[in-house]
Structure 1
Amino acid sequence: MNVTNWILGFIAIVATLVIIYGGVQYLTSGGNEDTVANAKKTISYGIIGIVISGLAYAMVIVVSTVILTSK
């Protein structure tokens, strides 16, 4: 369980950094539509990463609870 928590925490940190990177891209785009669109995609991918890591964490908890209580 410790390894799983570490990996999911790492994924959440990376996704947060991706969101920050997208925000910096957005702020420094200078109104360039292509850069703004790319920044929005980057932010969306970061949010999707956080949601997926949260769902994965919930699945790990549910599966481990089912396995431990079924004995």
Structure 2
Amino acid sequence: MAFLARIKQSFGQTFSFFADSIAELKKVKWPTRKELTSYTIVVIVTVLIIAVYFTVLDLGISNLLRLVFEG
């Protein structure tokens, strides 16, 4: 019987977890479509700027090393 009691307690904890999760999700202030769009644009632009920066940096270092080792 102790085994069944542990299983019942385990399922109770699992259901309690999901119930608490749903309750917390109802408290969240979800962004509007306009806010979500602007956040997405900011992230994409930031990633593109960083990608261009590292590409230029990589090309510069590659050319510098090529000059040092071939020169």
- How does the TM-score come out when normalised to structure 2? 0.50
The residue type paired with residue 33 of structure 2 is: E
Inter-partner Cα distance in structure 1 for 2:70 and 2:54? 24
Moved more, 49-58 or 29-38: 29-38
The residue type paired with residue 61 of structure 1 is: I
* Partner residue in 2 for 1:3: none
Inter-partner Cα distance in structure 2 for 1:60 and 1:31? 41
Give the paired residue count: 43
Instruction: Indicate the percent of aligned positions where both proteins have the same amino acid.
Output: 5
Q: Which structure's CA Rg is the greater one?
A: 2
* Partner residue in 1 for 2:55: 55
Q: 5+ residue gaps in structure 1?
A: 1-28
Inter-partner Cα distance in structure 2 for 1:61 and 1:32? 43
Runs of 4+ deviating beyond 6 Å: none
